[in-house]
Structure 1
């Protein structure tokens, strides 16, 4: 899309627009008139620029997450721990599976014996492979924290690289334009929101910048050159995203196609010239994905343990319309009335759609003032993505208005109906950052009054996205028992953990952290995941069983269950294949009478228990071993 500037005039403009070729830069004259620095010098300057920006982004990210530096292996970044514990479990699973000859994309160490399909969970296998050395050295909690710190840095740097063809200025102004845009993207309200929610996969928003760069190649001047190569590279990019987070893959492909449609509507003559090359590139892309990604695609489309019904209500996953002007506490400058963000739909981790009056004004001025079709196409795609992010209907300050929106068309489409529209905000964020880059690149600096106005507006817009110092950490304790279970537990064991593992945000999934710390050294029946089993089309967390029901009952101070019920609970645990119960005192989020839970566990298991390293372990002698 970078070749679509409309800076020329008259018949020359109309002739060139048919081929969408780049034109003269109105500020600096013909490109051949500019002196070209030596190639070695250019490469050195480019490398130096990326290093400088990378260090700068890393320092900002470390500052925002500096609280975790006190104990990166004992704290988890985020306001809550459930999703963080789930991501850390999968980061641990990948190197364990590879080292032990198991399939890294399937696992029955959680949700035993049915198992899990990694591509239907937030398993981030590509990221797990990249972080595997750190996981092996310092543990999966440390690896998770490192991933949250590095994700925005890598995403921002990729946007800096992707904007190379879109920013025409050389030297300092060009680097400023791209560097500012990269920072906006890296530390946008979207990334801040998902960092505090522990959404590791969404802090690595690497696909949108890569698709922006591919759009320049695919839809640039004249017929596409080397379409088979370009298509193959596109296929590799999409395959990489498939192994990172499938939902972002679907979103990225939808909006890449939408960008092509916008261009075709704007330049009908472009279609005939570009279509043959795009068809070849598309065939190459599909061929690469089909050849190299056949197994991951099989897991998504027809693999074992995938959910057989919708895992979420698509009508409840759109963004709140008010969020575009109402920031959360993660933004430093909050012009909205105090408490307005409390009324926004969803939780803080999905309230990353803030743009604000100042940034909106800058985008509108850029569209009106800068004569660049590229900029306007990017702004159009951004506007369309913002509408799509609102979901199937308009929700305003938490209230459903009943106004339908275009995303309703996807509500019943298989697979696409699983997309959470609110997460399309990443496309909007990318487009805003790209528009800002092209504005800084081309904004009028003369006459002085216009230049001063442009600089003031730009300054206000940039300040409006300044991150607040509000990122959080939560303790991630692991009882000593789980760091060395080899003497008492092994791979043939299936362990029932109390407190029960759930999807509850506050330490609901801490049992996953304990199991991961053990190696994993044992299987667990439940967990926190997305799957199915023979009884249910969708399962998201550990089921209640009679043992857990009884434990909750006595913890709440109610009468002791009968001997008959205790016997039924023991029989159910044996039928489920449980070989041991691990009770971890002091970790139940609801508190309760743990002494009575201890006695209840003894009644059910028939074992007085062994206390070691902060954990009570009880054996069930007649449980069937893992086959």
Structure 2
């Protein structure tokens, strides 16, 4: 951002640029204290899981928690057994999955692998949910270093409050209750905020501030590659808004473009070189790798934020001026309703932009406004009703790859900009005369209180039948298992079968799962397919007439064609309920096997001759 210049005495009061004021850096111990403070807040919000971190899962909205637990387990297993950690056929057999097209969080799986090895992937998932906001908040504190100038307590307070707001923003609170581990580790946005200062700031001589552009470009490339193997959607959002920042600055300071371009070109080349070398294989998997979906994963026109959410909080906010019934009318589910800003915070942001003479603040505010507009998607949705108003994101809807971005998740950039603007405001807000100071402090206090998190985080039981924790002698890697209840994306424990498979080692492959992939018949598949066995099982569980012998024979033949070697039936585990005895009898008919009951699970062998491998 532009450095200050001041007028010095002399002929015609010539403007002489002064050396830039160095940003005050708090002692390292202060960062440790801030980190401990953020950790205590995160632990308090998620304290319900502390009673049994290996038997409870944070989040009670979607099946995503079970999916993340599977991928956290997969990475260390794959490395230990010489498998490719970014490709797998242990789920969705025999077609397999591409980790970069799933929320596999490989980098996070690597970081949490000691926890996974010591305490299992459920505990690793819970640890990741607790630590994600803490790490993201601390990175926000570091990123504000060049933007906050006050030394001592005021500068520390400005950065500490900004980090707290970012870490426990409505965006992160919403995705925590949804179990979206990938979005709780929102580490790239603050890193890009810091890099934006070094890429686009003016130097003390009034020229471009870019120093050592090759090294800075390489660091930017490393950040992008790291995000590539963490979560690709946040990578796309981050790059888009880094470019938008450059555009906003170019429009604001067009005369500086010529001087800045050489350094930025070298930095861009350095960034591209690092991404091309270190990110070559991940990029190949995204762009042309096997097992990737062959068409759009979701309808981009249905993944925008609800306009009302900017003023209507959900139950994840402690202070709710709107009735709870208003939040119930918002589009989507609570896990995607993280766009709350609120009237008090909006008022503070407007006052800050009008009162504080800071280019950095105004650019941050502009980017925040643009990100909020983009997060609404391709058209305005108000209380779940689409209005005939087309929005700028519609231009992205037809762009390959970018059309896969869910615009509602751009809200993380809005949260970042709000937190950064508040930090700059606290750093520079007027504290004299007294009436001005009182008004500024009151407005700031109201805004901060409006973002207090509610004590509303949830957990759910994550029990695993004993059979799956010790399958020695019963199942092995040559087995492909059909699990009843069928694995789905359903919110009510639809994907528990994935967690059971992970708990076994995994010791066996599964035909279905909850994932993003494709098969020969469909360009996009997101959950295990219905087959005749599962259709019959659901039929009899619901108390309907038994399928015919001919249908049972076709079900057995279909399992044989799919390569299924065994079926496990877990009584009492179906989210839809039903008659488990009839399911067991149906499975006996299909497999011609009386079954074996062990560790809370019925195991049936199917007459499949060809083993996996």
Give the TM-score taking structure 1 as reference length. Answer: 0.95
Aligned to 2:63: 82
Aligned to 2:431: 445
Secondary structure in structure 1 of the residue aligned to 2:328: helix
Distance 2:164 2:29 in 1: 17
What does 1:413-432 align with in structure 2 at a 5 Å threshold? 413-432=399-418
Could you list the structure 1 runs, at least 4 aligned residues long, displaced by more than 4 angstroms after superposition. Answer: 4-16, 21-24
Distance 1:464 1:117 in 2: 41
Q: 1:6 to 1:445 in 2, by over 3 A?
A: farther
Aligned length: 607
What does 1:474-513 align with in structure 2 at a 5 Å threshold? 474-513=460-499
What does 1:365-444 align with in structure 2 at a 5 Å threshold? 365-444=351-430
| Structure 1: unaligned runs, 5 residues or longer | 25-30, 37-41
1:208 to 189, 193, 198: 189
**Deviation (angstroms), 1:337:** 2.5
**Deviation (angstroms), 1:13:** 11
Report Cα offsets for 1:105-150 as digits up to 9, x if no partner. 0000000111000000000000000000000000000000000000
1:362 to 348, 352, 356: 348
Distance 2:510 2:148 in 1: 53
Distance 1:13 1:326 in 2: 52
Distance 1:73 1:4 in 2: 51
Aligned to 1:142: 123
Secondary structure in structure 1 of the residue aligned to 2:27: helix
Aligned to 1:51: 32
Aligned to 1:568: 554
Q: 1:254 to 1:559 in 2, by over 3 A?
A: same
CA contact 2:217–2:271 (8 Å) conserved in 1: yes
Aligned to 1:548: 534
Distance 1:110 1:22 in 2: 62
Aligned to 2:45: 64
Distance 2:12 2:221 in 1: 37
Aligned to 1:159: 140
**Deviation (angstroms), 1:272:** 0.8
CA contact 1:6–1:373 (8 Å) conserved in 2: no
Report Cα offsets for 1:81-115 as digits up to 9, x if no partner. 51000001000000000000000000000001110
Secondary structure in structure 2 of the residue aligned to 1:339: helix
CA contact 1:578–1:624 (8 Å) conserved in 2: no
Aligned to 1:192: 173
Q: Does 1:101 align with 2:82?
A: yes
Distance 1:501 1:14 in 2: 73
Aligned to 1:626: 612
Instruction: Name which of structure 1's ranges 217-226 and 448-457 shifts more when overlaid on structure 2.
Output: 217-226
CA contact 2:5–2:15 (8 Å) conserved in 1: no
**Deviation (angstroms), 1:225:** 1.4
Distance 1:4 1:478 in 2: 59
Aligned to 2:274: 288
Secondary structure in structure 2 of the residue aligned to 1:202: helix
Distance 1:124 1:513 in 2: 16
Aligned to 1:91: 72
Give RMSD over aligned pairs: 1.8
Distance 1:13 1:190 in 2: 49
Secondary structure in structure 1 of the residue aligned to 2:491: coil
Aligned to 2:453: 467
Distance 1:9 1:346 in 2: 58
Aligned to 1:303: 289
CA contact 1:167–1:178 (8 Å) conserved in 2: yes
CA contact 1:62–1:149 (8 Å) conserved in 2: yes
CA contact 1:147–1:200 (8 Å) conserved in 2: yes
Q: Does 1:176 align with 2:165?
A: no
**Deviation (angstroms), 1:48:** 1.2
CA contact 1:315–1:391 (8 Å) conserved in 2: yes
CA contact 1:111–1:527 (8 Å) conserved in 2: yes
**Deviation (angstroms), 1:80:** 3.2
Give the TM-score taking structure 2 as reference length. Answer: 0.97
What does 1:240-279 align with in structure 2 at a 5 Å threshold? 240-279=226-265
CA contact 2:190–2:416 (8 Å) conserved in 1: yes
**Deviation (angstroms), 1:595:** 0.8
Distance 1:70 1:80 in 2: 20
